A and B are shown apart, each in its own frame.
Chain A
Amino acid sequence: RKEVEQDPGPFNVPEGATVAFNCTYSNSASQSFFWYRQDCRKEPKLLMSVYSSGNEDGRFTAQLNRASQYISLLIRDSKLSDSATYLCVVRTPSGGSYIPTFGRGTSLIVHP
């Protein structure tokens, strides 16, 4: 079983739609969680960190469910510019550091 799993999609949605992605992780010791956005062949960019209480940044809401070991990302009022691949990242303690593990990403296509 892969450590961090995401549905690769693509999720094909119209402008204005609400879309949600989930990401499951296998190691219960994981401590920090992030969502990144990656445009085609460019560097991943941090979208938001994910906190236990859930957090919101404009149209984006992230949630963490430690009991079920998943994180989620909700995008409201989708824009064409939201089209990208969304990567979840989990950092897990190991040997004095926190090793990041990436999911393979979920592709989102927002169409007019």
Chain B
Amino acid sequence: EAQVTQNPRYLITVTGKKLTVTCSQNMNHEYMSWYRQDPGLGLRQIYYSMNVEVTDKGDVPEGYKVSRKEKRNFPLILESPSPNQTSLYFCASSPLNTAQHFGDGTRLSIL
């Protein structure tokens, strides 16, 4: 089954404690991206990747890191999380110019 898998689905943690949200896709897509969604602000792209070892900043990259060592995986890293990073996060993948497939989302709360 074609899918984008994010883990964890839910996480409550504390300020400053490094965390990683994993994302994996099994469709051999070139393009992967991370979004955060906040009430009233819609989906905002954090980082994206066009292919292995190619990543670029989206609209709201501050406080986040990503890596793309393999085509299927695109983890999102918060080195020192802060409460303003409490949000709903989505990973998505696609070929370069077609519709994206989304993961189920990760609800992140930082106290």
Task: Evaluate whether A41 and B88 lie within 8 angstroms (CB atoms) in the complex, with A87-B43, A102-B42 already known.
Answer: yes
> B97 at the A/B interface (Cβ < 8 Å)?
yes
Task: Evaluate whether A43 and B105 lie within 8 angstroms (CB atoms) in the complex, with A87-B43, A104-B42, A105-B42 already known.
Answer: yes
Interface residues of B in 16-57 (CB under 8 A from A): 31, 33, 35, 40-43, 45, 48, 50, 56
> B82 at the A/B interface (Cβ < 8 Å)?
no
B side interface size, CB within 8 A: 24
* Neighbouring A residues of B31 by C-beta, 8 Å: 97-98
Contact A45 B102 (CB under 8 A): yes
Q: Mark B68-94, 1 if CB is under 8 A from A, else 0.
A: 000000000000000000001010000
Contact of A97 among B40, B48, B100 (CB under 8 A): B48
* Neighbouring A residues of B104 by C-beta, 8 Å: 42-43
A49 to B100, CA, bound (A): 11
Contact A100 B105 (CB under 8 A): no
A49 to B48, CA, bound (A): 21
Complex: chain B residue closest to A48, CB-CB: B99
A31 to B98, CA, bound (A): 10
> B96 at the A/B interface (Cβ < 8 Å)?
yes
A97 to B104, CA, bound (A): 24
Contact A44 B97 (CB under 8 A): no
A87 to B17, CA, bound (A): 34
Complex: chain B residue closest to A47, CB-CB: B99
Q: Mark A77-112, 1 if CB is under 8 A from B, else 0.
A: 000000000010101000111111111110000000
> A17 at the A/B interface (Cβ < 8 Å)?
no
Task: Evaluate whether A95 and B42 lie within 8 angstroms (CB atoms) in the complex, with A32-B98, A43-B103, A43-B104 already known.
Answer: no
12 of the cross-chain contacts (CB-CB < 8 Å) are A41-B105, A44-B90, A45-B102, A46-B100, A87-B43, A89-B100, A91-B97, A95-B56, A98-B31, A98-B97, A100-B33, A105-B42
A: which residues have CB within 8 A of B? 31-32, 34, 41-46, 49, 87, 89, 91, 95-105
Ranked nearest first, the 5 interchain pairs of A and B with the lowest CB-CB distance are A104-B42, A43-B102, A98-B97, A102-B43, A97-B50
